[in-house]
Amino acid sequence: MITIEFDPRGVADAVIPPVQALGSLLDRCDEENIRDVVMRLPETPGEDLELVLRPLMNRPFRFSAWFRAQPSARLAELFISAGHRITIAATVIPYRSVLRSVMKSPAYASGMPWQVNLFLALPPPPPGVAEVLKGLAPRAETSITLGIAWNNLETGPSSITPPEEKEWVEVLLRMATWCTERGVTVHIACGLPLCMFSTEQLGRLALLKVRPPLASCTPGLVLTLDGRVRACPRLPASGWVAMPAGIGLRELTSQLVGPSELFAGFCGRAGEQSCRSLATGACGGGCRTHNALGWHAESGVMAFSPPDSAGRVC
Amino acid sequence: MPNILLTNSCNRRCPYCFALAQVQLGVCRAAWEMSEAELDTVLGYLDFRHDVVSLLGGEPTLHSRFAEIVSEVAARRFPIKVFTNGTTPHLRSIPASACDDELRLILNLNRPESYGRSAWGEIEENARHFGRRMSLSFNVYEPAFFWDHLRDLILRRNLMRRIRIGLAQPVHGMGNSCLPEEAIPDACARLVEMAVDLASDGIMLGLDCGFRGCAFTERQRGILLECGAELLFDCKPVLDIGPDLMVWRCFPFSATAGVRLLDFRSLREVAEHFDQVWAHAMTLGNTPNCRDCPHFGRVCRGGCLSRTVNQRQPPALS
């Protein structure tokens, strides 16, 4: 999967992309037979963005439009009417205003499949979550991504205690149960190590409307329109590099991401060879980006140590 | 995701065969294969952005234009799954241009002793040829089953490390082999053993439709997830499209009256039709406890509808 970033963080004067730059990126995807393209749209799209995107809607891709917080009703409609998927990421949680905006949009009324990404920032459970879910649930095709957001990575707590971790998982299970009872499909956001859940909790999850994978780390190439690239949307600006010439997108992805079997840094079982979840890919070993930024497993407990001046994580 | 039956010819006689009602047509009457025009009509009901084209039979590689069909479907950008017994050389006739990331081959493997030397040789050659594009499928139809031959082929030929697990279901009036209801929990416990054992080699299981959630204990379900298994306790109209563009709810119902695809505007309408036809049976489930289960109708459908119907009143055959 390829993600095209329209509003690169760290670039002060982000502009509406020129048609040529976007077209050229899509041409590269087409040449390499890459069909799934996520478009991370700007928070405040200009009016001419619709003009740029409209001619692309019939190209042979499965687009997923990713809106940050406030979805643009017109752009959402554009994607949905062409049969593509939209995702609304309510990471920075003005839940009520997001809900109002969504319910007003023609996209919501159309009844076509769409997905709401709702990341839980725990603990404590944020207010208003139940209200948002209640509003969204009547749409049969609605799905929700439940995750745990590690906010303020650089200044976060020094560790997460086992009771806190247990509380997060229990809240996540309760939310998944709530969604299941209302016919809402649940995705679990990438980056959680599977050993956060006990075997019995996983047994409960298996009878909820939760779609696999439960604990993946699935970086995909993120391209910016000004020619930079990174391996994960979560990576901060320091993780971007200039796109090298003469290399295919698939090869570039594997170079940036590295072989997945070597990664187990955020794993409560310290990447032990015999872990059946790591071996089968049931667990991605946690989040590479969080790991790179200082979070890691310490005796089975998630802990935070900021990288030293050389960028090393203790 | 509908299944497209390319032909009712098959060179195997698997005791549990899901497609028996169609395949026996090929034995008793003239062999049939889907025409180019019929395939074009079916593809018109699909959208490459949302639908996978699943090619089945009989044995789909026995269609006289198998390679051309795969090429044509690939050229229309559809992801393709070919369900094959892997015992014919025709599988390798798929041109390289169609062998991209969107092509998957699912080889259904039975006990090794059920194959002659020549057939097993073809399986080996096809597995070698396709490698990571190919995964295995295994059907549970008897209480004792073994999986070393699956592991062996996957590791030797570097196949995709995933095995589709089907639970054989009764095809009405056909007398195919399948497990009796009371044997299913033991078979499920055996599947958990299988998942744990294969996980050590990074091989995961994917359950196909027709399993009941309560056939596993909570702990067994948890272990399956820890081993990377994809669990499915659903039963819905898959839609199998066969001769003369007739559509059945799914293979276990293919001996009952089907409908004509052209009488419907979309596959969704066809699925809704079958939901209506079987609405009452869908409220029952395989066991008497299903109706009072909080998971019934949400995540679990109480097992295969065909099994439910068969336990009560077999439907009239077409």
The Cα B315–Cα B147 span in angstroms is 35
| Chain A residue nearest residue B302, CA to CA | A207
CA neighbours within 13 Å on the CB side: how many for B187? 21
What is the 3 state secondary structure string of A124-162?
A: CCCCCHHHHHHHHCCCCCEEEEEEECCCCHHHCCCECCH
Residue B52 tokens read as 């996978």
Residue pLDDT, tens place only, A78-103: 887 787 877 776 654 455 565 566 66
Give mean pLDDT, residues B37-44: 96
Reply yes or no on whether the pLDDT at A262 is more than 70. no
The Cα A266–Cα A257 span in angstroms is 15
Cβ atoms within 10 Å, residue B203: 26
The Cα A148–Cα B81 span in angstroms is 35
Chain A residues with CB-CB distance to B100 below 8 A: 33
Chain B residues with CB-CB distance to A198 below 8 A: 222
Predicted confidence band of residue A311 (pLDDT cuts 50, 70, 90): very low
Which DSSP letter does residue B24 get? H
Chain A residues with CB-CB distance to B102 below 8 A: 33, 35
Predicted confidence band of residue A112 (pLDDT cuts 50, 70, 90): low
Burial (CB count <10 Å: 0-12, 13-18, 19+), residue B255: buried
Does B274 or A167 have the greater pLDDT score? B274
pLDDT for A151:
45
pLDDT for A199:
93
Strands B240-241 and B204-207, sheet pairing = unpaired
The complex's ipTM?
Answer: 0.89
CB A250 within 8 A of CB A28: no
Scan residues 273-302 of A and list those with Cβ closer than 8 Å to B: 274, 276-277, 279-282
- Pairwise CB contact (< 8 Å): A200 & B218: yes
CA distance B151 to chain A (A): 14
Indicate the residue of A181, A205, A280 with minimum beta-carbon distance to B199: A280
Give mean pLDDT, residues B6-35: 81
The Cα B109–Cα B16 span in angstroms is 12
The Cα B125–Cα A113 span in angstroms is 42
CB of A158 within 8 Å of any CB in chain B?
Answer: no
- Pairwise CB contact (< 8 Å): A280 & B231: no
pLDDT for A100:
65
The Cα A300–Cα A286 span in angstroms is 12
CA distance A94 to chain B (A): 30
- Pairwise CB contact (< 8 Å): A274 & B203: no
| Chain A residue nearest residue B226, CA to CA | A277
- Pairwise CB contact (< 8 Å): B220 & A203: yes
The Cα A68–Cα A88 span in angstroms is 6
Cβ atoms within 10 Å, residue A309: 5
Residue pLDDT, tens place only, B229-266: 999 999 999 999 998 899 999 988 888 888 999 999 99
CB of A220 within 8 Å of any CB in chain B?
Answer: no
The residues on B that touch A, with CB distances below 8 Å, are 47-50, 77, 100-102, 161, 196, 199-204, 213, 216-231, 233, 295, 298-300
- Pairwise CB contact (< 8 Å): B222 & A202: yes
Residue with tokens 């910016």: A224
The Cα B256–Cα A263 span in angstroms is 52
| Chain B residue nearest residue A32, CA to CA | B100
Please name each of the domains of chain B with its CATH number.
Answer: 3-277 (3.80.30.10)
Reply yes or no on whether the pLDDT at B139 is more than 90. yes
pLDDT for A131:
63
The Cα A163–Cα A184 span in angstroms is 28
Cβ atoms within 10 Å, residue B176: 20
Reply yes or no on whether the pLDDT at B26 is more than 60. no
- Pairwise CB contact (< 8 Å): A280 & B203: yes
- Pairwise CB contact (< 8 Å): B200 & A279: yes
Reply yes or no on whether the pLDDT at A150 is more than 60. no
Does A148 or A279 have the greater pLDDT score? A279
Percentage of residues in chain B having pLDDT higher than 70 = 96
Residue B233 tokens read as 């306790």
Residue A128 tokens read as 């208003």
Q: Coil, helix or strand for B99?
A: coil
- Pairwise CB contact (< 8 Å): A206 & B300: no
- Pairwise CB contact (< 8 Å): B227 & A276: yes
CA distance A247 to chain B (A): 19
pLDDT for A132:
63
The Cα B14–Cα B17 span in angstroms is 5
Q: With the CA atoms of B241, B243, B247 and B253 taken in that order, what torsion angle do they form, in degrees rounded to the nearest 10?
A: -100
Among A304-308, B18-22, B33-37, the minimum mean pLDDT is found in: A304-308
pLDDT for A152:
45
Percentage of residues in chain A having pLDDT higher than 90 = 4
Reply yes or no on whether the pLDDT at B109 is more than 80. yes
Give mean pLDDT, residues B136-157: 96
Mutate which: B51, B218, B226, B293, vs A, most A CBs within 10 A: B226
Q: What share of chain B is helix, strand, coil (3-state, %, to 5)?
A: 40, 15, 45
Please name each of the domains of chain A with its CATH number.
Answer: 2-260 (3.80.30)
- Please name the helix (run of DSSP H) or strand (run of DSSP E) that holds residue B273, with its range, or none: helix B267-277
